[in-house]
Structure 1
Amino acid sequence: MRLTVLGGCGVWPEAGQACSGYLVEHDGFRLLVDVGYAILPQLLQRLSVDEVDAVFVSHGHPDHCADLNPLLRARALRDDPPAPLPVYTLAGALDAVLALDRPGMLDAAYALHEFTAGDRLDIGPFRADTRSLPHWVPNAGVRLAAGDRVLAYTGDTGPSPDVVELARGADLLVAEATYVHEVPADSKGYQSSARDAGRQAAAAGARRLLLTHLRPGTEHAAARAAAGAEYGGEIAVATAGLVLDLR
C-alpha cells in the first residue's frame, strides 16, 4: 500500500500546497481520500483524472471536498468521458458541492454511495471500516486494510477513544493536528492538537504517525516535537508530494 500526500493544509491552502487530499494505491487501484481546496492541480501532476478509481470523503467541509467539483468537471466535460466515478461519503455530506453546477450537468460523472458511519465498505482491494468521530459536522474516520497493511485516517476530529480504536495496530495513522499543543476552548472536542495525535497514536500502538491539517503558518518542527513528547514512533507532517510506502 502506498500513500501520496496531495495536500495537508487545514482551513485554507498555503502557497504551493493544498488542503486535505491523499492518494492511496494498492494493486493498481487508486483511491482518492478527501478532495479539499487545490487538490486537483496536485493530482494532475501525477495522474490523469480518468486514472482515479474511487473517492472517499470524510465529511462535508470544503477543505475536504471542494475540489470534487473540478475533478468531476474534468471527467464530464470532454468528448470521451470515463465511466462514472464511485464516490463514498456520509449521507448529505456532498449536497453543497454537488449543487455548484446547473442541475444534472455532472450527474453522469459520478456514482454516489452514501453510507452510515460504522459501515464496512469494499472499495476495490480495500476493506474500509468507518467510524463516527466528533466534529462540528458528521465526520467518518476510515481504516483501510489491504493485504496485511492498515492505514487509518481521522478526517477532522476531537480526541476520542474511537480514534484509538480506529488506529489500533495500524501501520500508519494519518491524524488531524490543527493546533500544536492546545486546542482553543471554542474548538475543544471538535479538533485536535499534535500532542493529542501523538497521545492517541501511542495508545493505539500505531507504527507511524502522519500529522495533517495543520493551520497555515504552523511550524512543522514544533508540531513534530509536540507529538513526539507523547509518541516514540516515526512522525512526519503531511505536505504535498510526500510518499509513504506501507511495508
Structure 2
Amino acid sequence: MRLTVLGGCGAWPEPGSACSGFLVEHDGFRLVLDLGYATMPRLPGPVDAVFISHGHPDHCADLNPLLRARSMSEDQPPPLPVYALPGALDAVLALDRPGMLDDAYVLHDVVAGQPFTIGPFAATTRLLPHWRPNAGIRLAAGGRVLAYTGDCGPSPEVVALARDADLLVAEATHLTAVPPDVLGMLSSVPDAGRQAREAGARHLLLTHLWPGTDHAAAVAQAAAEFPGPIEVAVPGLVITPG
C-alpha cells in the first residue's frame, strides 16, 4: 500500500498547494480519498475509484473536473466508481446540465459501519462529528491498515477507526486550541496526536491544517502527544504505511 498526498490545506488552498486529497495505491489499483480544490491537476494519471468523506467543497469540488474530463474524453473511459454517504455529492454532481456527467460515474452509497470493498481494499467507515455527515474510512490491504478521518471533532469513534493502524491521516485544523464557535466540529493538532496515541497508530499524518500554519510548530505540538513518526500532508509526499 502506498499513499501520495495531492493536497492537505483546510478550507482553501494556499498558493502552490491544494485542499484535501490522497491517492492510495495497492496492487496497481488507484483509489482517491477526497478531491478538494486544486487536487485534480495533481493526479499522476488515471484512477480506478474515488471515495469522498463529505460534501464540503474543500473535499469534493474537484470531483467535477475529474468527471468532466472523463465525460468529454474521446476515448470514453468506463464509468468511475464513486463512493460517498447518501446525498453527500448532490451539490457537486448538479453543477453541470442534467445528464451531462451521467455516463462518467457510478455512485455507490456508503452505509456507515457496514463493511464493503473497493478494488483490493477492505473498507469500513464510521460517522465522525462535523457540520455535514462525514465518514471516516479505514482501508486494509496487503497486511497494512490506513485510516483517514475526513473533517471532524475529537471523538472515541476516531480512536476506534484508527485502532492499530499503520498510518492515521488525521484532521488537525487548529495549531493549539479549537475556537469555541467550532468546538466539537474540528480538531486541533494536539487532538490528533492524542487520538493517534490512544488508538495505537504507528504513523501520524497531519492534514487539513489552516492555511498559513507553521508546519514545524504543528509537528512539535503533535509530538507532545504522540511518540511515533509525524508528518504534515503536503503535495507530493509519499508514505508507505508500515
Task: Show the counterpart of 2:101.
Answer: 106
Task: Show the counterpart of 2:193.
Answer: 198
Q: Is residue 20 of structure 2 the alignment partner of residue 25 of structure 1?
A: no
2:114 to 97, 114, 119: 119
Q: Is residue 131 of structure 2 the alignment partner of residue 136 of structure 1?
A: yes
Q: Is residue 236 of structure 2 the alignment partner of residue 244 of structure 1?
A: no
Counterpart of 2:200, as a letter, is G
Q: Is residue 7 of structure 2 the alignment partner of residue 14 of structure 1?
A: no
Shift of 1:234: 0.3
TM value normalised by structure 1: 0.97
- SS of 2:216's equivalent in the other structure is helix
1:225 to 194, 206, 220: 220
1:66-91 Cα offsets, whole Å, 9 max, x none, are 00000000111022110000000000
Moved over 3 A (4+): none
1:40-60 Cα offsets, whole Å, 9 max, x none, are 1111xx21xxx2000000000
Q: Which runs of structure 2 are paired with 1:1-247 in the superposition (5 Å)?
A: 1-43=1-43, 46-47=44-45, 51-247=46-242
Shift of 1:14: 0.5
The CA RMSD over aligned residues, in Å, is 0.6
Tell me how far apart the structure 2 counterparts of residues 220 and 194 of structure 1 sit (CA, whole Å): 11
1:81-135 Cα offsets, whole Å, 9 max, x none, are 1000000000000000000000000000000001221121100000011000000
TM value normalised by structure 2: 0.99
- SS of 1:108's equivalent in the other structure is helix
Tell me how far apart the structure 2 counterparts of residues 243 and 78 of structure 1 sit (CA, whole Å): 29
Shift of 1:38: 0.3
- When structure 1 is superposed on structure 2, of 218-227 and 4-13 the one drifting more is 218-227
Tell me how far apart the structure 2 counterparts of residues 184 and 162 of structure 1 sit (CA, whole Å): 21
- SS of 2:116's equivalent in the other structure is strand
- SS of 1:23's equivalent in the other structure is strand
Counterpart of 2:109, as a letter, is E
- SS of 1:150's equivalent in the other structure is strand
Counterpart of 1:100, as a letter, is L
Point out where structure 1 has 5 or more consecutive residues left out of the alignment. none
1:149-177 Cα offsets, whole Å, 9 max, x none, are 00000000000000001000000000000
Tell me how far apart the structure 1 counterparts of residues 116 and 19 of structure 2 sit (CA, whole Å): 25
Tell me how far apart the structure 2 counterparts of residues 239 and 122 of structure 1 sit (CA, whole Å): 28
1:168-208 Cα offsets, whole Å, 9 max, x none, are 00000000000011000011100000000000000000000
Point out where structure 2 has 5 or more consecutive residues left out of the alignment. none
Tell me how far apart the structure 1 counterparts of residues 21 and 170 of structure 2 sit (CA, whole Å): 13
Shift of 1:246: 1.8
